[in-house]
Amino acid sequence: MISKARVLIVLVLFVVTWYVMDVTGEVKPVPIKKTLSKFPHSVGEYSLSNSFQSSSEVVELLGVEDYIQYNYIHPDGRRINLYVGYYEAVGMGAGYHSPRNCIPGGGWGIDNVIPRTLDVNSRSNEKSNISEMVIRRGNELQVVYYWYQNRGRVIGSEYWEKIYQVMDALLSGRRDGAFVRVMASVPGNDLSTTRLELEDFSEKVMETLKDYLPGAQI
C-alpha cells in the first residue's frame, strides 16, 4: 500500500512543478542594450581579421536575436575566434547550444572539460567562473573557453545556468542572456601559452560585454 505521506509528497511536487512551468512561461523578452555589431574591432593587441555570417537557416535554428562571430588576429599571426549569441528569452522557442554537443564532429573530439577562473577586474578583485574545453583532431589541438553572461552574472556551468533561468523567471520574469565562446588553435601543442592568451582576451571581452548586455537591473 502507498502511504498517505507519499501521495501527499507526489501531489505537492506536481503542484510546484505545474506552478513553476506556468510562471516561467510568462517571461518578458528583454532586448539587448547595444547591438553586438558595434562590438570593438580591437581587443587588446588583437584586431578584427574578418567576420562570419551564418545562413538564415542556422540563425533560425540557433534562435538568437543578435550575434557576432569575429576572427581576431595578433600582429605575430596568432588567431582567436569570438562568438557571442544573445537571446531575449532563453527557452521561449530558442535556447543555448552547448559546445559539448555542437563542437564534436568533423573529426574533432573532446579531450576534457574543466572549470577556469578569470580575473575580470583586478582593481575590484572581481573573478568569474567559466568552462575550458580542449578539443583534438589527430595531432591538432584547440582550446575553447565558454560561459553564459546574463542578468548581471557570469556562469560557467550549463547546469547552474538552467537553475538561474528558473529562479530569475520566477523572481523577475526574465530569461535574457548571452552565450559566449572564445577559441584558438594551439601551435606546437603549447597549451600554457594558448591558455594565457585566451584568459587575457576573455577577460577583456567579458568586461566589454557589460556595456552591451542587460544587467541585473533593467
Instruction: With respect to residue 33, please indicate whether it lies within any of the assigned structural domains.
Output: yes
Q: Which domain holds residue 138?
A: 29-209
Dihedral pair phi/psi, residue 174, rounded to 5°: -130, 145
Tell me how many domains the chain contains: 1
Which residues does the chain have with pLDDT short of 70? 1-26, 54-62, 92-95, 121-125
What's the pLDDT score for residue 134?
A: 95
What's the pLDDT score for residue 216?
A: 85
What's the pLDDT score for residue 101?
A: 74
Give the three-class secondary structure for 130. Answer: strand
DSSP β-bridge partners for residue 136:
109, 141
What's the pLDDT score for residue 1?
A: 47
Per the structure block, which three cell numbers stand in for 214? 542587460
In the chain, what is the straight-line distance between the N-terminal and C-terminal CA atoms, in Å? Answer: 53
Instruction: With respect to residue 217, please indicate whether it lies within any of the assigned structural domains.
Output: no
Assign residue 51 the CATH number of its domain.
Answer: 3.40.1000
